[in-house]
Chains A and B, each alone.
Chain A
Amino acid sequence: MARTKTYEEINEKIKSGKVTVVTAEEIIPMVKEEGPAAVLEKVDVVTTATFGPMCSSGLFLNFGHSDPPIKMSKVWLNDVPAYAGLAAVDAYLGATELSESQGAVYGGAHVIEELVSGKKVRLRAIAGGTDCYPRREIETMVGLEDLNQVYLFNPRNAYQNYAVAVNSTSRTLYTYMGTLLPKFGNATYSSAGELSPLLNDPYYEVIGIGTRILLGGGEGYVAWEGTQHNPAQKRNENGTPVAAAGTLAVIGDLRGMKRDYLRAAVFHNYGVSLYVGIGIPIPLLNEEIVRRVGVSNEELTATVYDYGVPRRSRPALGVVTYAELRSGKININNRSIPTAPLSSLYKARQIATELKERIINGRFLLTAPVAKLPFRDGVKPLREEVK
């Protein structure tokens, strides 16, 4: 019978300092040269990571009660509105929300970056006043140490693959995929490729609800399937999707996170986003899992879309490999197009290495998913009904 391992077995090895961990880049030549069976004998955990702009991110905060107390109905942090339609002093600050005083150069992501850097931000809130919450306004400074709870809850992170963007029009386009030069002047892409978490676990076998992860440099968890989770995406023979597919909703305490792995971004003429660093361990439980983490950039593909067509379904112009994207040039319709990444390979490697070290040092134990991510049909469009 083929060898298998359990989470318990691997965690015992972590605790006794006997675990072998390598990154998702380091495992590839090992699998190619030695084969899955030999690698399964030797290696217990592979660390994956990504560091890219993830708009669907945000922060839950509980401010504590003032005296007299207030039931905050509108809340601003450094003039960025936070959603306060929750209990009296709870709020949710979205990463892409813009400042009411500074506009498109400062947003929720910047507030998150300031908080994680240890800075205080200006809280302003108003209310209608009730018998139990008489106060109608408040203005004060708050920092990490003042808040009761302050945790990231990101509804959609760590996309399993993503588009390659080009621009067929004759004008420069400013998009969430960066600046796209006219007439196919460049192509941008955003996945960490062979290092990316969900490309290493294409069928969501080990990454599921409850999986402990590194989020923004601190410990976090996979909370749920991410929004627009689309397992039904077309797949290559090796199981990996050819375009955007699965996503994760993740959660983690902002205290314990680091600015190094959470950075506010402004995409020119588009808006604000948050660069989020995520690291996810993959336990090598069987040969099949080893085979999947052994898939390299040469075998991972992404679909090239024309962002010059501002429609829900943009025309697909071709399929390229991550090895081609990394080489600096792709060939589409006999045209050589220079490529550029938007997600940081450098940071992703740092995160994969940090996670590896935490596991080797016994500071990070693995968790089996409490429940699996769903594997069902994908994403519905928004239909407009006329009544």
Chain B
Amino acid sequence: MAKKRVVLTFPPELTEKPITYHLVKDFDLAINILRAKITPGEEGKLVLELSNGSEEMIKKGLDFLVQQGVGVEAVSKEISFTDEDCIHCGACTAVCQPGALQINPDTGRLRFEKERCIVCELCVPACPLGIIKVLF
């Protein structure tokens, strides 16, 4: 099953229109909102994970968004750290709501599951050693 993460930018005039609704209704996509910042009258940002469809349906859905005037970018950012520098304290796990960063209870080592990361970047300042970076 295809899966894609995108950052959508809504121009101010579109923030009050139901648009993501069509991704579900017309393109049969499952949408998971990872992050959202919507203020009426201002530019809106939405980070979505699209699944439950073929590559083709995802592409059609995204083409539809572009036609509507929504900016579409693939999520290309990811967090990264050098394992040798990590002390496995666990301070970053305190802010990682999706549980992408966890201390393995058996080994005591920090484990990063990239698939669960929504690149919220809260771990970046939470790391006392400052070793977590955002890669573009």
B and A form one assembly: yes
By a beta-carbon cutoff of 8 Å, the part of chain A in contact with chain B is 51-53, 105, 174, 178-181, 185-186, 188, 263-269, 273, 275, 326-328, 338, 340-347, 349
B38 proximal to A (CB < 8 A)? no
| Count of inter-chain pairs, beta carbons less than 8 A | 81
Across the interface, B94 reaches (CB within 8 A) one of A179, A263, A266, A343, namely A179
- The answer to whether residues A346 and B88 also contact, given A179-B94, A181-B95, A340-B93 and a CB cut-off of 8 A, is yes
**A344 pairs with B88, CB closer than 8 A:** yes
**B109 pairs with A346, CB closer than 8 A:** yes
B103 proximal to A (CB < 8 A)? yes
Contacting A at CB under 8 A, from B105-136, are 105, 107-109, 122, 125-126, 128-130
**14 pairs across A/B with beta carbons < 8 Å?**
A53-B128, A178-B95, A179-B95, A181-B94, A265-B129, A266-B128, A268-B125, A268-B126, A269-B125, A327-B105, A328-B102, A341-B90, A342-B90, A345-B88
B1 proximal to A (CB < 8 A)? no
B91 proximal to A (CB < 8 A)? yes
B19 proximal to A (CB < 8 A)? no
B2 proximal to A (CB < 8 A)? no
Q: Which 7 A-B pairs have the closest CB atoms?
A: A340-B94, A265-B128, A346-B108, A346-B88, A268-B125, A341-B90, A345-B108
Q: How many Å from the CB of B11 to the closest CB on chain A?
A: 30
**B95 pairs with A275, CB closer than 8 A:** no
Across the interface, A186 reaches (CB within 8 A) one of B95, B105, B108, B109, namely B95
Give the chain A neighbours of B129 by CB distance below 8 A: 263-266
Closest to B107 in A: A346
- The answer to whether residues A347 and B88 also contact, given A265-B129, A268-B125 and a CB cut-off of 8 A, is yes
Give the chain A neighbours of B126 by CB distance below 8 A: 178-179, 268
Give the chain A neighbours of B128 by CB distance below 8 A: 53, 178, 265-267, 273, 275, 342
A52 to B88, CA, bound (A): 11
**B87 pairs with A341, CB closer than 8 A:** no
Q: How many Å from the CB of B132 to the closest CB on chain A?
A: 12
A188 to B96, CA, bound (A): 13
A379 to B16, CA, bound (A): 58
A349 to B122, CA, bound (A): 28
Q: How many Å from the CB of B21 to the closest CB on chain A?
A: 30
B89 proximal to A (CB < 8 A)? yes
Q: Mark B69-99, 1 if CB is under 8 A from A, else 0.
A: 0000000000000000001111101110100
Closest to B110 in A: A346
- How many residues of chain B get a CB closer than 8 Å to chain A's CBs? 21
**A263 pairs with B108, CB closer than 8 A:** no
Give the chain A neighbours of B108 by CB distance below 8 A: 344-346, 349
Which of A327, A345, A347 has the most CB atoms of chain B within a 10 A radius of its CB? A345
**A179 pairs with B125, CB closer than 8 A:** yes
Give the chain B neighbours of A266 by CB distance below 8 A: 128-130
A327 to B102, CA, bound (A): 11
Q: How many Å from the CB of B41 to the closest CB on chain A?
A: 25
Closest to B87 in A: A344
**B105 pairs with A263, CB closer than 8 A:** no
- The answer to whether residues A343 and B89 also contact, given A265-B129, A266-B128, A349-B108 and a CB cut-off of 8 A, is yes
**A188 pairs with B87, CB closer than 8 A:** no
Q: How many Å from the CB of B124 to the closest CB on chain A?
A: 9
14 A-B pairs besides A178-B95, A188-B94, A266-B128 with CB distance below 8 A are A51-B89, A178-B94, A179-B94, A180-B94, A265-B128, A268-B126, A326-B105, A327-B105, A340-B93, A340-B94, A342-B94, A342-B128, A345-B103, A346-B109
Give the chain B neighbours of A180 by CB distance below 8 A: 94
Closest to A327 in B: B105
Which of B93, B103, B107, B128 has the most CB atoms of chain A within a 10 A radius of its CB? B128
